[in-house]
Every structure is written in C-alpha cells, then in structure tokens.
Amino acid sequence: MMKNKYVPTAAGLYLNYLIHGMGVLLITLNMANLQEQWGTDRAGVSIVISSLGIGKLATIVTGFLSDRYGRKPFIYLGILSYLIFFFGILLTKNIYMAYFFGILAGMANSFLDSGTYPARMESFPNSASRANVLIKAFVSAGQFLLPFIISLLLWANMWFGWSFIIAAILIVLSGIYLIKMPFPDHRAKKEVVEQSSVTATPQPDASMMDMIIFTLYGYIGMATFYLVSQWLAQYGQFVAGIPYESAIKLLSIYTAGSLTCVFVTATFVKNVINSAVAMVLYTAISAISLLVVCLFPTPFIVTGFAFVIGFSAAGGVLQLGATIMAMSFPSGKGKATGIFYTAGSIASFTIPLITAKLSKISIASIMWFDLIIAIIGFVIALYIGYRQFQVHSAQRTARVAATA
C-alpha cells in the first residue's frame, strides 16, 4: 500500500499541538513569578488567563476564512501568534499588556484549529477520528511534559522564562519544518468515507431545547476541566500542603489521566448510545471525585484526584458531547459543532474571571465552585442520555414497523 504523502506534514502539525498543550499552562505554572513581574496578585494573573478565552472566539471567523484561503496560512498565523505570545509575556511588566498577549495566545489556538483540523481530515479522509484522538493526545503530552521542564529549571536554579523560550524554540522549529511540507488542496472535492468512532442512524434535527441543552453542556464541560487545570497546582500547594515542586507535577498526573481516557474512549466507544452512556459516567465520576477532594484535601487524596479528574473531565468527554450534538443535527453539523465549541470558549473566558474573585476568599472555594459546576454537568448529561435513548428507541421502532 502506498504511503500517504501527508504523514510527514502531520508530524509537524502534531508538534504544534504539543506546544499548544504547554502554552495553555505556562502562565498558570509560572504564576508566582509572573505575579511579581507584573506587580499583581493571583486574581490579576487569573484575569490574564481569561484573555485566552477571548482570543479563542476568533474560531468563528477563521474557520470560514480557512475554507476560502487555505489551511497553511492559518497554521503559520498560529505559529507566529504563539511566538509573539511566548516572548511578549516575558517582556511585559503589567497585566494590561499581558492581557493583550493572552488574547493573542487564544487567537493562536483558533488559527491552528482552523487550519489543522480540516487539513488533517483532508489528508486522512479514511481515519479522521483516529487523527482526532492523536491531536488530543499531543495536547495532553505537552501538558504532561511542562511540569517536569519547570521542575528541572527549579532544580538547576534557572530563570523561569526558559520554559517560555523552550516552547518558542520548538514552535520555530515546527514552522521551519512545515515550510516545504505538502498540504492537500482545500478546494478539491473529495469523496470522504470516514470510519467514524461515533455513528448514528439518520434522523431529523433535534429540538431547539436540545440545542440549548447541548450548548450549556459545551460551557459546563469546558468549565469543569479548565478550572481544574488552571488551579490544581495551587490547590495542592496551598490547601493540601504539597511543596511547590511536587504540586506542579500534579498537572502531569492530571494529563496522564487524560491520555489514558483518550485511548480508552477511542477503543470502547463505538456509537452514539455508547457515547451518551460514557458521557453520563464520566460526568458522574467528575462530580464524585470533586466532592471527595473538597471534603478530604490531603496530599494522597489530591494526587489520586489529579488522575481521576484528568480521566473523567479532560479525556475526551467534551468531544463526545460535541459529536453527539452534531449527530443530533444532521442537516447542520458544522453549525452545531461551532456553537458547542463557542460555548466552551466563553467558559474559558468567564471562568477565570469568577475564580479571580474566589481566589481572594480562598483557593478551597474554587474547587467547591467546580463541584457545583460538575453536578450541573451531570444533570445535563443525564438529560442528553435520556434524549438519545428516546431517539434510539424511536428509530428501532420505526425499523421494526418498516420490516413488518
């Protein structure tokens, strides 16, 4: 069988997402140093983190532009934007400029998404689902590696800024590597036969109520794991009493859980009904684990919680929700997916603003807040699961009637 000529291109695209995984956490894991550099407190840094969510909203526009002008220009816009972010954060001395660079980082994510996702599907039309899993895996890998890089810098008594510079060097190397790599023609009309991990019998569009519920889940699902990823190290250090050098490694345990779930989900979840069951199960585990860690914030419990919440909240449950929503609106899959992820982008903007206020009360209150969000998410997931079983039962009845 002839080797796909876009495999080398995919390697560079995946490297970008490993760097993106690092970029999402660079401000959080360097919070103490950046507080001092910007002359602010934890709440101020949290407000800067919220700016990434504003930049991500650009996906609404960049997706359409990518269809018109091609994938490669937007991938390079993402690389350039990230490069400016890495150096800009290090050079700025106040949270106002830092907020601007944070918006740029969110836009970098949007540029990469609008170029990479369609390029990947056009390059591998028969295995797009597997490629989806790999992108999530590389993001998690970047989040897994970063705490070790920072720990090494601490051990060597080196400047914290090297973590940003390492990410900058990697993304420059990726940009150089991709210059001569082939990209598929985005204007070519291809007959795609995708062996999707989530399939469904054709059905009419769901109701407006379902659209609202799915949109809420997009917000809640993103909020649940985004909040933990940004505050887990702080919670471990200031609530559970874990030393800083060990507390930042909680993020590596968290991403190990996420990676584990990515492959478990890809292996065992094969259709919409199974996806709905998995979504209910994962959200239930998230709520239970948050309750336990809020009640018993010991080093042992927090360490175990890091893996469990990474598995249940950050291992693909958001992607399950997006896919079920898209399959529930077969005549408008793209629009439905866009609405779902826009809700997630709004969460990544608003949640840090809320936690900025809560951090002035206590770090513990942030995790209690996440527990409330997770419980709401579980209730919404139950409704979505119930609706999917209704649809499935109706389709099965219709098939039986048709064959009678």
In this predicted structure, the answer to whether residue 396 has a pLDDT above a threshold of 90 is: no
Interatomic CA distance for residues 359 and 365, integer angstroms:
7
Interatomic CA distance for residues 170 and 176, integer angstroms:
10
Tens digit of pLDDT for each residue in 32-72?
Answer: 899 999 998 888 888 888 888 788 777 667 766 777 777 88
Q: Which residues have CB under 8 Å from 306's CB, separation 6+?
A: 232, 236, 250, 251, 253, 254, 257
Which of the four pLDDT bands, split at 50, 70 and 90, describes residue 282? very high
**pLDDT value at position 379?**
96
Tens digit of pLDDT for each residue in 95-146?
Answer: 999 999 999 998 898 888 777 777 776 777 665 445 555 777 788 788 888 8
Average pLDDT over residues 181-210: 58
In this predicted structure, the answer to whether residue 195 has a pLDDT above a threshold of 70 is: no
- In 3D space, the residue among 198, 324, 169, 186 whose CA is nearest the CA of residue 271 turns out to be 198
Tell me the Ramachandran region of residue 241: left when phi exceeds 0, alpha when psi lies from -120 to 50, beta otherwise. left
- Identify the weakest region by mean pLDDT among 169-178, 293-302, 332-341: 332-341
